[in-house]
């Protein structure tokens, strides 16, 4: 509770003269001040009690460039109206303006409003909690009451269509045979089992049903195609960030809104590229996994389908470029878990040459590699990418070059080096 001490300082300045002179007018003024204090305290206390606030989030998932929609319902179930109640929100989602001042809350009624927030950045954000702030008309007392109820929102990274991105040399068409069960329906039937609730009709195995007299479902294996691994470099030391844009002259808070553009950092470019590639390949029924070392080692095992895309986007939503392990060590450590015939797509802004040798070792083990290099010198003062591009070309690795402010769908449709065929 916050108290305005002005009236309490005014009270002794009236009380002392009243005691000294005995004037009835001063005594009445003292009584009036005491009555105001008591009534103001009761007013603030009553307004802070009984109000119920509910938050209804349309979806707990959103995407950069999309809207997070939340409906707020404030209800007064009491018998008397309440006045001048403020709702303060403590959400961490940028620009999520839920709080507002409610001049009046009629008895037995509810007020509701919808908040739509454009998501500018990926991550996991807290929505709530809410604090109810009640005061009296004179502002003598202010009572804060925290309300229960909070939720979280995960904002996925932005994705862009990549119709021009194609694997080199058709290397994805034939990997080793895979003995791995999958919930997806493929051309490879592995075995049969008893029907389970939720199985679709095209999983039913009619010869077994006719023979046994009970419902039997088919089990499938993944197609024998090559796995795709996305290796996203999240080492903090090699990342680059463009300087922040200066405000428009004369308007210190005015900046041009660009919600559809990727933030000018190699970290956000890398995450957006990885998310877009995951969506691109999974839409083609490819088997895909992700490995990245940010705050911690993050791995999404190889799988297919919409559920796999959700797993990948959720992992990429919270990863940050805080890694301390060089890309060369990541490739060496994770390459052992990739099967022969797999493809590793390396996404990095690193201009160091050590990780190219690690790619050569992968290729020696039968794992092909594609490199997507984000040129750091286009973001800030950084070493040139010419040396690393020349080294990749000499090693015969298909390479794409991404520059700041270049549309990703354009950059990932033009290989600067085709690689060995």
Alpha-carbon distance of 316 to 299, in angstroms, equals 10
Range of weakest confidence among 36-45, 106-115, 187-196, 376-385: 187-196
Q: Are residues 240 and 148 in the same domain?
A: no
Q: Are residues 149 and 86 in the same domain?
A: yes
Q: Are residues 277 and 401 in the same domain?
A: yes
Between 218 and 348, where is the model more confident? 348
Q: Is the pTM of this model over 0.85?
A: no
Mean pLDDT of 214-241: 84
Q: Compute how many other C-beta atoms are within 10 angstroms of the C-beta atom of residue 36.
A: 15
Q: What domain range includes position 202?
A: 181-221
Beta bridge partners of 417: 399
Instruction: Give the model confidence (pLDDT) of 115-149 as tens digits.
Output: 999 999 999 999 989 999 998 888 889 999 999 88
pLDDT at 255 > cutoff 70: no
Instruction: Give the model confidence (pLDDT) of 259-298 as tens digits.
Output: 457 889 999 999 999 999 999 999 988 999 999 999 999 9
Instruction: Give the model confidence (pLDDT) of 90-114 as tens digits.
Output: 999 999 999 998 888 899 999 999 9
Alpha-carbon distance of 338 to 141, in angstroms, equals 66
* Closest-CA residue to 122 (of 155, 150, 93, 99): 155
Percent of the chain at pLDDT > 90 equals 56
pLDDT at 376 > cutoff 60: yes
Instruction: Give the model confidence (pLDDT) of 73-85 as tens digits.
Output: 999 998 889 988 9
Map residue 352 onto helix, strand or coil: coil
Between 9 and 390, where is the model more confident? 390
Mean pLDDT of 380-409: 93
Count: domains in the chain: 3
Alpha-carbon distance of 68 to 117, in angstroms, equals 5
Average pLDDT, the chain: 86
Alpha-carbon distance of 211 to 213, in angstroms, equals 6
User: Is residue 89 included in any domain, yes or no?
Assistant: yes
Q: Are residues 194 and 229 in the same domain?
A: no
Q: Compute how many other C-beta atoms are within 10 angstroms of the C-beta atom of residue 191.
A: 11
Nearest 5°: phi and psi at 356? -70, -35
pLDDT at 252 > cutoff 50: no
At residue 364 the predicted structure's pLDDT band, cuts being 50, 70 and 90, is: very high
Q: Which single residue is written with the structure tokens 């007013």? A: 43
Alpha-carbon distance of 73 to 52, in angstroms, equals 8
The CATH number for 342's domain is 3.40.50.410
Instruction: Give the model confidence (pLDDT) of 315-327 as tens digits.
Output: 999 999 999 999 9
Tell me what pLDDT residue 202 has: 77
Task: Return the structure tokens found at 59.
Answer: 């979806």
Residue spans of beta strands (DSSP E) within 106-180: 109-118, 123-127, 130-135, 141-147, 151-156
Burial (CB count <10 Å: 0-12, 13-18, 19+), residue 138: middle
Tell me what pLDDT residue 417 has: 66
The CATH number for 73's domain is 2.60.40.3880
Q: Within 13 Å of residue 209, how many CA atoms lie on the same side as its CB?
A: 10
Alpha-carbon distance of 245 to 301, in angstroms, equals 39
User: Is residue 163 included in any domain, yes or no?
Assistant: no
Tell me what pLDDT residue 206 has: 85
Q: Are 145 and 135 in contact (CB under 8 A)?
A: no
Q: Are residues 209 and 233 in the same domain?
A: no
At residue 182 the predicted structure's pLDDT band, cuts being 50, 70 and 90, is: low
User: Is residue 162 included in any domain, yes or no?
Assistant: no
Strand 141-147 with 2-3, pairing: antiparallel
Q: Are residues 205 and 259 in the same domain?
A: no
């Amino acid at each position: 509770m916050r108290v305005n001490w002005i009236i309490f300082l005014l009270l002794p300045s009236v009380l002392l003269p009243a005691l000294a002179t005995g004037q009835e007018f001063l005594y009445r003024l003292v009584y009036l001040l005491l009555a105001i204090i008591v009534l103001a305290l009761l007013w603030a206390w009553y307004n802070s009690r009984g109000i119920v606030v509910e938050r209804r989030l349309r979806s707990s998932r959103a995407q950069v460039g999309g809207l997070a929609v939340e409906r707020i319902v404030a209800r007064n179930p009491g018998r008397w109206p309440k006045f001048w109640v403020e709702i303060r929100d403590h959400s961490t989602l940028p620009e999520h303006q839920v709080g507002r001042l409610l001049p009046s809350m009629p008895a037995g009624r509810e007020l509701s409003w919808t908040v739509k927030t454009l998501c500018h950045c990926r991550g996991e954000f807290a929505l709530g909690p809410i604090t109810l702030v009640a005061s009296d008309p004179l502002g003598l007392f202010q009572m804060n009451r925290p309300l229960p109820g909070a939720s979280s929102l995960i904002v996925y990274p932005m994705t862009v269509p990549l119709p021009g991105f194609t694997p080199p040399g058709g290397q994805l068409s034939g990997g080793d045979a895979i003995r791995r069960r999958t919930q997806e329906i493929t051309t490879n039937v592995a075995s049969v089992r008893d029907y389970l609730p939720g199985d679709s009709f095209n999983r039913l195995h009619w010869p077994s049903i006719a023979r046994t007299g009970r419902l039997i479902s088919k089990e499938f294996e993944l197609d024998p195609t090559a796995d795709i691994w996305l290796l996203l470099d999240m080492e903090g030391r090699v990342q680059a960030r463009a300087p922040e844009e200066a405000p428009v002259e004369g308007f210190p808070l005015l900046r041009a809104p660009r919600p559809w553009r990727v933030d000018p950092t190699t970290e956000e470019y890398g995450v957006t590229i990885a998310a877009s590639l995951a969506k691109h390949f999974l839409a083609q029924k490819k088997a895909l996994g992700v490995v990245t070392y940010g705050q911690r080692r993050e791995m999404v095992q190889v799988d297919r389908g919409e559920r796999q895309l959700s797993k990948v986007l959720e992992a990429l939503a919270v990863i940050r470029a805080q890694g301390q392990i060089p890309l060369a060590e990541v490739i060496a450590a994770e390459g052992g878990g990739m099967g022969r015939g797999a493809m590793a797509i390396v996404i990095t802004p690193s201009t160091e040459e050590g990780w190219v040798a690690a790619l050569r070792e992968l290729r020696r083990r039968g794992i092909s590699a594609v490199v997507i290099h984000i040129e750091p010198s286009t973001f800030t003062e950084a070493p040139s990418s010419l040396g690393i591009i020349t080294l990749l070309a000499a090693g015969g690795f298909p390479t794409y070059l991404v520059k700041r402010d270049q549309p990703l769908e354009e950059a990932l449709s033009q290989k600067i080096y085709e690689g060995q065929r």
